Structure 1
Amino acid sequence: MTDIPRRTASRTAKLASLPLGVAGRAAAGWGRRLVGGDGEEISAQLMAKSAEQLFAVLGELKGGAMKFGQALSVFEAAIPDEYAAPFRESLVKLQSAAPPMPPADVHRMLAEQFGRGWRNRFQDFDETPAAAASIGQVHRAIWKDGREVAVKVQYPGAEEALRSDLRQLSRMSRLMQPLVPGLEIKPLIAELRDRMEEELDYRDEAENQRAFASAFDGDDKVKVPRVVASAPRAMVTEWVTGRKLSDVIRGGTQEQRDKAAALLAEFHYSAPARVGLLHADPHPGNFQVLDDGRLLVIDYGAVARLPEGLPRPLSVMVRLALEDKPEELLTLLRDNGFVRAGSPLRAEDAVTYLAPFTEPLRTDTFRFNRRWLQRQAERVGDLRSPDFNTGRELNLPPQYLLVHRVTMGTLGVLCQLDADVPLRGIVGHWQPWIFDAEDESAGRHL
């Protein structure tokens, strides 16, 4: 398409305006302080306006910018309330909404992917998109056999936009960091860039979804829509819809939030054992609650491939922390590359660092909420905290990076739900060696 370079330049200019806008407001804030304005009030106003601009631009641009915003939305619960509150609604919008693609572009993409006679595959096709995401939008249609289906169509030029956005966001990461305290932006952008290729080919997504649909077929807790047809830039699946998880977060009763949280935890911890895959995009826009009580899970473009289930070292690490065995834990951490070479890390410091993360597994039911997650972010992110120095001695091997981020993202959504979750029982069912003493020998021979 001849206008892609022009679009890319426009997108880059809009993204570049973000740090400039932040800098301009900061300068104005200094001026107001010099004439006697209240410092904390001015800082809060600047943060609110900067955040509002950030998420407005991310939502408008789709592509990598919107993907980045969706990733941030998962960790919203870890951001202090005084920063998160002003743009919480903007984060929610990023989970499932974006400006629609013109019908002519939709028709052109479907003709390219399914042939000029693409309409013959459908009894009916709704031109108005039912949903939009970072690199594509969804249309409701009736398949030729009468089934109601969802047609996912990739935006023209999505690949170029994605690459351009992530390059620009990476350059801006240090300037944007103050807008999301408690979350490291640069590694997050780097991981999004690494996952980009697999998300651009919908045939890979279709293969992932087929695997999940087969594993969860007939399940009484989770529903995965079946794939009907797929091509590199378009995909057709069963149409299934329910109540958005973001709606449950905002207005659900305590019982509804508790149930949704338990379903989400069950899906996350069972998938590696049942499918050999881990759904790696756990923002609320990818989950709905059906009328029959099941959790609907969509968007399988990003997965972690775990053919042998969740890596055993991660489970044994949790077990040793729960059992308060510092020396064995430190040995396991060193043997598996979790401690930087030559580090003087003490065993008791490693246990202290991990203890709060194992807290949800020490009781039958644990209340996940924003304050708990904020305390963890503050604890490991505060330069004055002993845990900050411990964290500097630790290392996250590349093969565990995606699993760690997805698990933390899932916990972030549980905290947004403000829910009581029977996590110990869920984890114990799918990773029994964490609590079963008979499996201790398995952990020693990793």
Structure 2
Amino acid sequence: MTDIPRKAVQRTAKLASLPLGVAGRVVGGWGKRLIGGDAEEINAEMAAKTAEQVFAVLGQLKGGAMKFGQALSVFEAAVPEELAAPYREALTKLQSSAPPLPARTVHRVLAEQLGSGWTRRFASFDNEPAAAASIGQVHHAVWHDGREVAVKVQYPGADEALLADLRQLQRFSRLFQTLVPGVEVKPLLAELRDRMVEELDYRGEADYQRAFAKAFHGDEQIFVPKVVASAPKVVVSEWLEGTPLATIIRSGTAEQRDRAGLLLAEFHFSAPFRAHLLHADPHPGNFMVLDDGRLGILDFGAVARLPQGIPRPLGVMTRLALENKPAELLELLRTEHFIRPGMEVHAEDVFDYLAPFVEPLRPERFRFTRRWLQAQAERVSDLRAPDSRMVRSLNLPPQYLLIHRVTLGATGILCQLNAEVPAKSIVTRWQPGFTD
């Protein structure tokens, strides 16, 4: 058996261990209930142990499994504190770490992608990776003209591993649903699959990065490194130095957290207007605060094209919710196909469901907290609550799915930061339909 097939078998075995482990815990939980154990305590214990196993396995893998784990990690703030604490550290590691490739493999990829004389293009090249991602790792180097650069090298066989992982993960998507209340995991997996197929060709990523760099050139808050060279499986771009967002989440001061939150919100809402693109991979490993105070953006593999910017109806819906106009809000939701066909809903019920989501836009500044996000997740996932019934009446049209997922992910990071942000002024400036 060759090395690559052997690794594929090992990866599949690790992923397959997840539902088996969960099944064992469910049986154990039933047993405890039969002898009088407290249901809530048992559920909490099962969820915590499930999460611990899931992220332990995903953290050992690259490809689609790691990518899915990164996507889940931004929703950590929505998980109740008693469940989130045991595996928060595992999530943080998952956002920025993976087993490294040996130097000889990296050199082989560089020779294939940049030519046999690739070493002459660099004044120096560090064989130890500076960072690892889902389908590639990054090396620090110095370009032949003296510029410090980041060299992103795709893992050999990443395409096969990525697609195999996502097929396997889709088989037991219900398992992951318990970890992210209020988030539909199956559509998330389907949407991630579409994005990751695009990510496999680094030339597309380089083109997106060039477009972002042009749109934010000279910006005082956001910095996008320029692309120096690119190939299908290698991207060379300017090197960034700064404090990773994960570090600020873990140990930053209140001032650092608020600053990082402001910059992240500004980037998220302004990019569709300025670049006609949406950065679609919001997790802390893709951002750092530079020494000069700007937010540095590190990865452009997942990007959505928005030629007209963020759709205007989203801004109008938000405004109608803030202005307490339930009848007009319901009419617009039906027009934009946010209400499932044949469903009878009351305007006031729709308004009551959506109003809490726009709370961050009521005051001039809003503090995003884990508790606030947990409350929203609990509200929509409680099967006994009226809001849960409303969820079954609503529909998310395909053209809004990615925007919704990215906004939710960015919101999750803001809550991890516990950041106080002038969200209202940012949305007013960049979201079409919000003020007119």
TM-score range, shorter chain: over 0.9
Quote how far apart the aligned CAs of 1:358 are.
1.2
Other-structure match for 2:202:
202
AA partner of residue 175 (structure 2): L
Other-structure match for 2:279:
279
Other-structure match for 2:124:
124
Is the 2:314–2:433 Cα contact (8 Å) retained in structure 1? no
Q: Which runs of 5+ in 1 are unaligned?
A: 440-446
Quote how far apart the aligned CAs of 1:310 are.
0.8
Other-structure match for 2:251:
251
Indicate yes or no: 2:158 matched with 1:158. Answer: yes
Other-structure match for 2:268:
268
Normalising by structure 2, report the TM-score: 0.96
Secondary structure at the aligned position of 1:128 is classed as coil
Other-structure match for 2:381:
381
Other-structure match for 2:87:
87
Other-structure match for 1:390:
390
Is the 1:245–1:284 Cα contact (8 Å) retained in structure 2? yes
Secondary structure at the aligned position of 2:241 is classed as coil
Distance 1:183 1:335, change over 3 A: closer
Distance 1:331 1:30 in 2: 46
Other-structure match for 1:407:
407
Distance 1:262 1:328 in 2: 31
Quote how far apart the aligned CAs of 1:26 are.
3.6
Is the 2:380–2:391 Cα contact (8 Å) retained in structure 1? yes
Other-structure match for 1:434:
434
AA partner of residue 297 (structure 2): V
Quote how far apart the aligned CAs of 1:424 are.
0.5
Is the 2:271–2:277 Cα contact (8 Å) retained in structure 1? yes
Is the 1:361–1:423 Cα contact (8 Å) retained in structure 2? yes
Distance 1:38 1:324 in 2: 42
Deviation per residue, 1:28-52 (Å, 9 max, x gap): 4555666777665555444333322
Distance 1:309 1:77 in 2: 28
Other-structure match for 1:443:
none
Quote how far apart the aligned CAs of 1:209 are.
0.5
Quote how far apart the aligned CAs of 1:366 are.
0.7
Deviation per residue, 1:374-428 (Å, 9 max, x gap): 1111111111111111121111110111011101111111011111110001111
Other-structure match for 2:342:
342
Quote how far apart the aligned CAs of 1:25 are.
3.4
Other-structure match for 2:186:
186
Secondary structure at the aligned position of 1:149 is classed as strand
% identical equivalent positions = 69
Q: How does 1:14-413 map to 2 (within 5 A)?
A: 14-30=14-30, 43-413=43-413
Is the 1:198–1:204 Cα contact (8 Å) retained in structure 2? yes
Is the 1:79–1:182 Cα contact (8 Å) retained in structure 2? no
AA partner of residue 235 (structure 1): V
AA partner of residue 133 (structure 2): A
Deviation per residue, 1:247-281 (Å, 9 max, x gap): 11111111111111011100111101100001011
Deviation per residue, 1:179-219 (Å, 9 max, x gap): 44343222211111121211111001000000111111111
AA partner of residue 279 (structure 2): H
Aligned alpha-carbon RMSD (Å): 1.7
Distance 2:208 2:112 in 1: 23
Normalising by structure 1, report the TM-score: 0.94
Distance 2:87 2:229 in 1: 38
AA partner of residue 253 (structure 2): T
Secondary structure at the aligned position of 1:237 is classed as strand
Is the 2:75–2:180 Cα contact (8 Å) retained in structure 1? no
Secondary structure at the aligned position of 1:434 is classed as coil
Which piece of structure 1 moves more, 338-347 or 89-98? 338-347
Is the 2:148–2:238 Cα contact (8 Å) retained in structure 1? yes
Is the 1:19–1:176 Cα contact (8 Å) retained in structure 2? no
Distance 1:39 1:408, change over 3 A: closer
AA partner of residue 47 (structure 1): A
Secondary structure at the aligned position of 1:288 is classed as strand
Q: Which runs of 5+ in 2 are unaligned?
A: none
AA partner of residue 8 (structure 2): T
AA partner of residue 303 (structure 2): V
AA partner of residue 332 (structure 2): L
Quote how far apart the aligned CAs of 1:4 are.
2.8
Distance 1:327 1:350 in 2: 9
Is the 2:312–2:432 Cα contact (8 Å) retained in structure 1? no
Secondary structure at the aligned position of 1:150 is classed as strand
Quote how far apart the aligned CAs of 1:22 are.
2.0
Quote how far apart the aligned CAs of 1:23 are.
2.0
Which piece of structure 1 moves more, 322-331 or 399-408? 322-331
Distance 2:106 2:431 in 1: 45
Distance 2:373 2:52 in 1: 23
Other-structure match for 2:424:
424
Quote how far apart the aligned CAs of 1:167 are.
0.5
Distance 1:432 1:256 in 2: 29
Distance 1:321 1:48 in 2: 36
Secondary structure at the aligned position of 1:151 is classed as strand
Secondary structure at the aligned position of 1:229 is classed as strand
Distance 1:169 1:313 in 2: 34
Distance 1:57 1:153 in 2: 23
Distance 2:409 2:187 in 1: 14
Distance 1:157 1:222, change over 3 A: same
Secondary structure at the aligned position of 1:139 is classed as strand
Quote how far apart the aligned CAs of 1:3 are.
3.5
Distance 1:63 1:190 in 2: 15
